[in-house]
Amino acid sequence: MRFAIMTEPQQGLTYEEILAVARTAEAAGFEAFFRSDHYGAFPADADLPTTDCWATLAGLARDTKSIRLGTLVSPVTFRVPGSFAKVVMTVDEMSGGRVEVGVGAGWNDVEHAQLGIPFPEITVRGDMLEEELAMLNGFWEEPDGWSFSGQHWQVREAKFRPRERPEGARPDGRLRPSIIVGGTGKGRSLRLAARYADEYNISGMGPANCAQIVERLDAACRAIGRDPSTLVCSAMVGTLVAESDAAMTVRVQDQLRAFGMDTAGAETWLNERTARWIFGTPDAARARMAEFEGAGVQRVMFQDFVPRDLEMVGLLGRIFLS
């Protein structure tokens, strides 16, 4: 099993706070740090400040040394695929080849409206995502002169520089950033991952649901003649852990405040999450992780909704990496 930290900086984190989490994760031995790509603040205070995902990843590329960096996930609606491919490769070069890129169709209509970003209906966004995935693979792997004709974008005689790191393979052995498609196991996302991606990331599901999705993902690969073992299956899992029951009580209160809830809703909140999150003391966390591993998940991104609590990041490192 492989492990990464994932944060939601739209909770009002400054760049320095994001950097602190990334450096703490790096020191703890995590292989990767991921952040969300949102312009609107949630889940609690909608008036909190937010930052641009790829601007902050560029900063992290220079201010960290070894940890891999990525996004879960960048909506296709936010950036034109051609310029997005250039941004990703620029940040990858700045980091020494440590970037991973997650892409999706987007879902938050409010943040689009607030910034004047068009938000077509989901079928159109799905079509846009498919074209983006084809274009990313084309820009990064096809020879000069590659062209593409889609409904939303057209490429004529592409020339993309740099296509790969001058010294060859990246630290992860690839010649380009790995591509992650995020989803909840729906047919189209599985099909797109099987055709275009290096990894499929399951979002918000417990181990039992993950096992079912892994089976469907393997079937989607076999349907197009792809070896399922060449497509990594990962899960972004809500996480809240503490050394003791007493410390867990305190951390739960911190989590409730992060979600803008009072203690009156605590029991319902806990019941909704304990079955699918990595939740509780170290023994409980290890037991839940074993369930995810048994379901066929190969990498877990610990989704951290209390990212200013750097001690919890360190504790996760001690639980799973020591």
Q: Flag whether pLDDT at 264 surpasses 80.
A: no
Res 239: pLDDT:
98
| H or E element, residue 316 | helix 310-321
- Residue 277 phi, psi (nearest 5): -85, 165
Give the model's pLDDT for residue 136: 97
- Phi and psi, residue 201, nearest 5°: -105, 120
pLDDT at 166 over 60: no
pLDDT band per the 50, 70, 90 thresholds, residue 36: very high
* DSSP conformational letter for 229: G
Q: Name the band, by pLDDT with cuts 50, 70 and 90, for residue 164.
A: low
Domain positions in the chain are: 2-321
Give the dihedral of Cα atoms 155, 159, 160, 163; nearest 10 deg.
120
C-alpha closest to that of 278 among 308, 310, 320 = 320
Check residue 168 and give its pLDDT.
61
Q: What's the sign of the alpha-carbon dihedral 290, 295, 298, 299? A: negative
Give the model confidence (pLDDT) of 199-252 as tens digits: 999 999 999 999 999 999 999 999 999 999 999 999 999 999 999 999 999 999
Q: Which two tokens stand for residue 240?
A: 């809240």
Among 47, 223, 195, 58, CA closest to 133: 195
Q: Distance between CA atoms of 238 and 249, rounded to whole angstroms?
A: 17
Whether the Cβ atoms of residue 241 and residue 281 lie closer than 8 Å to each other = yes
Nearest in space to 10 (alpha carbons), one of 34, 38, 47: 38
pTM: 0.95
What's domain 2-321's architecture?
Alpha-Beta Barrel (3.20)
**What does the DSSP 8-state code read for residue 224?**
T
Length of the chain, in residues:
322
Alpha carbons 178 and 199: distance in angstroms, whole number? 8
Query: Which amino acid is present at 104?
Result: G
Q: How far apart are CA 221 and CA 265, in angstroms?
A: 42
The alpha carbons of the chain give a radius of gyration, in whole angstroms, of 19
CA distance 220 to 79: 28
Q: If you average pLDDT over residues 297-316, what whole number do you get?
A: 97
Q: For residue 174, what pLDDT is reported? A: 80
**CA-CA distance, 64 to 90, in Å (whole number)?**
16
The whole-chain average pLDDT of the chain stands at 94
